[in-house]
Structures are given as structure tokens and as C-alpha cells.
Amino acid sequence: MKFAFSLFAAVISLSGALASNVIDLDPDNFDKFVGQGKPALVEFFAPWCGHCKKLAPIYEEVADAFAHAKSKVVVAKVDADGVGRPLGQKYGVKGFPTLKWFNPEGGEPEDYQGGREFDDLVNFISTKSGVKSSVKPPPPPAYEILDITTFDDVVINSDKDVLVSFTAPWCGHCKRLKPTWDDVAKDFASESNCVVANLDADAVQNKPLGEKYGVQSFPTLKFFPKGHKDAPVEYDGPRSEEAFVEFLNEKCGTHRTVGGGLTELAGRLPEFDTLASQFFAATGAARDVIYKDATALAVSVGPAASHYVRVMEKVVNGSEEYVEKESKRLATLLQKRTLAPAKLDELKIKSNIISAFKKVEETVARAADEL
């Protein structure tokens, strides 16, 4: 019985090995698969190497993603510390794992310098070979991805505030930051002048930027304020979504919340809050004068003041219950999270301004009741 179980386990193990879509190469079969009219990504590994063991299951998944296209692209590996040592020596392998990209016609391979996550490797193969993987790609990140060719246009030469994370694909702290960074970018997606971006500062072509801005560890976060791009501010606070939102609100002059909504202060103007207070405290002709003053002042302030004037206009024209009814209407609409972000922002600002009047109105009412 014990023998039968051992034999069964051996068969299962062998079938699993045979099922692998990663091609095992050695000096005898290398030229049969590489440089024969189709490109190849080859991993040079050592069985004892911890990084190689960590990469192994990911590399298997990458090969599976291109199993449908074996006639167009090769995903292979070489035990460069064993039977494949001569191949490792031939191609200058000095550390494990080393990944090299071989062109269809052979020749000198290209060292792979990117990340070692599934998406990194799949995207690299697809880009180089033009072959799409069988795995549906994840949605692009909300933050802007920079490189040496786009950095100056987005960060330095723009009139926008930009928060940049300088990261490296192999950095554990960077990997943990990634989902938070994406959430922060989504929170500020409606703020066109407040940009959240990322730069792979360990990529060969981008390293000069890391050196220029004094990046010595990963991740390094720097805020480039508009008008002072030559003096970026290093962010050294907590790496939570809440902390980043608070930081950007302070630096960009925005009023975003975690989740991308607006705070209670969004759209509020201190000048007009004062006029609202005076408006509700006044009666008759005095109220008409304040309304006219607010209308005149709004011309110089611009669209930001228009809703204050709109509320005053409704009340002056006899709609005394307008504030209460509009407050309830806006509250109901804001519960409809299916509305477009821009529409939600518009409604929230109107609700905030109505709240300014409503609070004044309630204060005045309470004072009248006490008399």
C-alpha cells in the first residue's frame, strides 16, 4: 500500500513537471529553441537561490499566459549553476536570477531590467514580441506613470502641483505603497491641477532623475509645487491614504476627502459667509441692500460666488422656505453615488453653501424663540 501511494505521488509529481509551459534549456537544446525565428525570454537560475525560488511560481504563470502562442514566443529557463553553466558563462551571467531577452534571429541578448511581478514580465513580453497574453490585463493605474522622456513635461514645465513617488520594482515598501498610491490618485482625479505620479527610479534610463533629486532609498516621495519646481518638498509623513489626502489638500489648496468626495469647506467663501449671516439677520429693505451688494461683489469674485447670490435671490423674491427645501433636495441627490464625479462635486458645493445659510437661519430662529 505504501509503495502504491509513493508511486502515485511520483506520477502526480512527474505529470506536474511535464505540464509546465516553461521550457528547460541546456547546452544541447538551447540553439533548437533560441534564435530560430521567434523571440525568447530566458531565465538563468540556480536551484539554491532564494530569489529564484520566489520567482519560480510567477515565471510558471507567465509561461502559462503565453502557452497559446508557443509558435510565436518562447519562455524558458536554464540551470546556470548546473548542467547549463556553460550557457551562463557564455552570456555573462554573474548573479541569479538573470533574465535575458533573445531576438528572433539570435545574436547578443538584451538584459531584462524590469520588475519581477507577473504583470511586469507579461507586459514586457507583449511589448517586445507583439504577442498578447491569454490573461486579461489589469486596468491602468490612476496615477500618472513617468519616465525620463515625460518627467519634465508633467512635473517641471507644467503649472500644476505634482506629488511624485520615486520607486523600484523590487522594493517591498514600494509594493505595499502601490495600492494606496492608486487610491490617492483616484481621490484627486477631478483635480486637474493636483497630479499624483510615479517614476521607476531604478530603471536604467530613469536613474539620472533619481540622482538629480537626491533619491537614495525607495520609496522617496517629493512634492513639486507650481511656481517653485526647483525646490521640491520631501514628504516624510505617514504613508496612509488619509495622510496623503491631508497633505495634498494643504499644498494644493483643495478640499478632497478619502474616497474622492469634497469636504464641508469646498466652495465656501468667507466673504460671502459673512454676507449670508448679515442677510438672514436683516429684514425688508436692509436685506435687499445686502443682496445687491453681494450681486455686485460676485462680479469681481467670479462663478465661485454665484450660488450665494442665487440663494439670496430666491429668498428676496419671496421663497422663504427655499433654503430648507433645497437642502433636503441636495441631500437626496448626493446619496445617488452613480452620478458622475463632476456632478457630485457640483451638488456638494451647492449643499455646502446652502448649509452656510441654513446654519445662520437656524441660529437666528433659535435666538427669536429665546426672546
Query: What crossing angle do the helices spanning 284-301 and 270-281 adopt, rounded to 10°?
Result: 170
Cα–Cα distance between 270 and 30 in angstroms, integer? 74
Work out the end-to-end distance of the chain between its first and last CA atoms, rounded to an integer number of angstroms: 97
DSSP labels, 163-228: EEEEE-TT-HHHHHHHHHHHHHHHHTTT-TTEEEEEEETTSGGGHHHHHHTT--SSSEEEEE-TT-
Report how far residue 219's alpha carbon sits from residue 275's, in angstroms, rounded to the nearest whole number: 47
Can you tell me the distance from the alpha carbon of 114 to that of 290, in angstroms, rounded to the nearest whole number? Answer: 64
Best CA proximity match to 147, nearest among 226, 218, 209, 194: 209
Distances (CA, A) of 159 to 153, 224, 225, 226, 233: 10, 10, 9, 5, 16
Q: Which residues are catalytic?
A: 49, 52, 171, 174
**Residue 178: closest CA among 94, 224, 117:** 117
Bridge partners, 368 (sequence order): none
Largest CA distance in the chain: 103
